[in-house]
Amino acid sequence: MKNAKAFLINEQDLTKELSFNDIAQLSDLNADGVCDKEVIDDAISDAQNYIASFIKIPKNPTPLLKDICVKLAIVELKKRNDFPKDALNEIIQWAQDLLLKMANKKIPSEISEDENEPSIRVRAFKIKRKRMDLRRING
């Protein structure tokens, strides 16, 4: 790793999606049977840079944003191993759609630390008309 850049995710986050052996195989570009941490860090960095092209990377990212980063990092590892692009393009399109929604503030990208801020918008309206008096109707 060239600089001490803070990542959204780490190797443990990747192992929640794939097994450690699968990640080791994907990162072993030299086929020497060793898990290459530099390749993994580079894939995570590429995924994070892709996300940064849509939104500013938050300090306290949502689980969805972390999940997007994990999937994109795995896609980067698979690209380096010449996986079929059709299967990878579907994941990239899914991530791109969510990132566009985050960029347009339709989906939050950061967990709010402000407890006073409501997490759900109230979209109710108040009726200002007076009630009808139905007591005079004989039934």
The set of residues, in sequence order, having a beta carbon less than 8 Å from that of 73 and lying 6+ positions away, is 9, 14, 40, 43, 44, 46, 47
Give CA–CA dist 71/35, Å, rounded: 19
Share of the chain above pLDDT 90, in %: 50
Q: Which one, of 68, 67, 123, lies nearest residue 100 by Cα?
A: 68
Instruction: Give the pLDDT confidence score for residue 49 in this predicted structure.
Output: 95
Give the C-alpha separation, 29 to 36, whole Å: 8
Quote the pTM value: 0.76
Residue 8 half-sphere exposure toward CB, CA atoms < 13 A: 30
Residue 15 near residue 23, CB atoms below 8 Å: yes
The whole-number pLDDT of residue 30 equals 80
